[in-house]
């Protein structure tokens, strides 16, 4: 099942019950970041949502750094699947 942003979360699970792996968390955060980014386009003065968006981006960056230090292959596959690097 994909969402409005083209992210299929099931692809990032390590097992059926997986909700805590770095891959899955990064995909989930990316989905929320894209949603908040769309929200910010319409509501430019919503500073509370802006702060939440910035916190999410920082948390995702930390998880990406962690994943890169643990497994370079998984890091590259997550970047490619989520289209995070241009």
Torsion over CA of 15, 21, 24 and 29, rounded to 10 degrees?
160
- Domain locations in the chain as residue ranges: 9-82
The band of 2, judged by pLDDT with boundaries at 50, 70 and 90, is low
Task: Tally the residues of the chain.
Answer: 86
Superfamily of chain region 9-82 = S15/NS1, RNA-binding (1.10.287.10)
8 vs 66, residue with greater confidence:
66
Mind listing the pLDDT tens digit for each residue in 18-74?
888 999 999 999 999 999 999 999 999 999 999 999 999 999 999 999 999 999 999
Half-sphere exposure of 24 (CA within 13 A, CB side): 12
Structure pTM?
A: 0.88
d(C-alpha 67, C-alpha 37), whole Å: 24
Predicted local confidence at residue 15, as pLDDT? 84
* Distances 86 to 61, 80, 82 between C-alpha atoms, Å: 16, 10, 11
Predicted local confidence at residue 1, as pLDDT? 47
Tokens for 4, please give them.
């409005």
């Amino acid at each position: 099942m994909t969402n409005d942003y083209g992210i299929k979360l099931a692809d990032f699970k390590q097992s059926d019950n997986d909700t805590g792996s770095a891959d899955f968390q990064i995909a989930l955060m990316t989905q929320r970041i894209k949603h908040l980014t769309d929200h910010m386009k319409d509501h430019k003065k919503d500073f509370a949502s802006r702060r939440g968006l910035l916190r999410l981006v920082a948390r995702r960056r930390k998880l990406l750094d962690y994943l890169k230090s643990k497994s370079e292959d998984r890091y590259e596959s997550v970047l490619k699947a989520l289209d995070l690097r241009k």
